[in-house]
Amino acid sequence: MEGTILNRIETGETHLRIYLFSGKCGLQKVLLRVSKGNRSHPPPDLFDDVEFSLNRKNDTSGLPFVSDFQIFKKRPELARKHQCFYYASKMARFYLDNGAHLQDTVPKEKLLHHSLDALVQGHNPDIVWFKTVFRFGRSEGLPVEQDWLTNLSKPDHDLGMKILKTRVSEQNPPANRVKHLIHSFSVWLNSETELRC
């Protein structure tokens, strides 16, 4: 199973419960045994892209047990800037809250990778977050343009359209206006849809 790690929780002294999002399998939980003495092979970290080899027979809790793993991509840069880590964590929480019953998971995985990599590259975290959640909602078939965007004031509508149509690297709108759009869209999602934001 390949995926991106969204959360790790210690369970006892020797195991980690890992939550990951996989393009093929959606949101998944696995159990990984941690070897305290083997520092040459540390467990994967948050936001790593990994491949797990799974054994589904040995674990009495019903969780697949990781027998081996390979890390394809690490994103340590996310931990070096508070704003980047904050929004990467918000993305992880968004996927954890909304990723369990998605039907079309491959585009959601691509969106997650694209968004995390944009944060790694140092692009505006507010804009990356806004575009990620908007595209997630649109890919779920929600009327994000027909309802939320259409009903904004003209200045907010124009700014929203410009942000959505312009590359993240080519824009730097006023932070307070972007935060206003984020708040408005979050309120709309929480009140009008099943997505939690």
CA atoms within 13 A on the CB side of 124: 18
Mean pLDDT score across all residues of the chain: 93
Confidence band, pLDDT 50/70/90 cuts, at residue 42: confident
Confidence band, pLDDT 50/70/90 cuts, at residue 58: low
pLDDT, tens digit, 9 for 90 and up, residues 162-197: 999 999 999 989 999 999 999 999 999 999 999 999
pLDDT value at position 61?
A: 59
pLDDT, tens digit, 9 for 90 and up, residues 80-135: 999 999 999 999 999 999 999 898 999 999 999 999 999 999 999 999 999 999 99
CB 46 within 8 Å of CB 85: no
To 10 degrees, the CA torsion angle through 91, 191, 141, 196? 20
Q: With b meaning 16 or more CB within 10 Å and e meaning fewer, what string describes 123-151? A: bbbbbbbbbbbbbbbeebebebeeebbee
pLDDT value at position 39?
A: 65
Q: Is the predicted pLDDT of residue 6 greater than 90, yes or no? A: yes
pLDDT value at position 40?
A: 65
pLDDT value at position 27?
A: 97
pLDDT value at position 37?
A: 66
Decide which of 2.40.50.140, 3.20.20.140, 3.40.50.1860, 2.30.40.10 is the CATH code for 2-74.
2.40.50.140
To 10 degrees, the CA torsion angle through 183, 139, 173, 166? -170
Alpha helices in 101-153 (DSSP H): 105-120, 125-139
pLDDT value at position 96?
A: 98
Q: Is the predicted pLDDT of residue 60 greater than 60, yes or no? A: no
Domain positions in the chain: 2-74, 77-192
CA distance 149 to 162: 12
- 95: helix, strand or coil: helix
Confidence band, pLDDT 50/70/90 cuts, at residue 149: very high
CA distance 71 to 74: 7
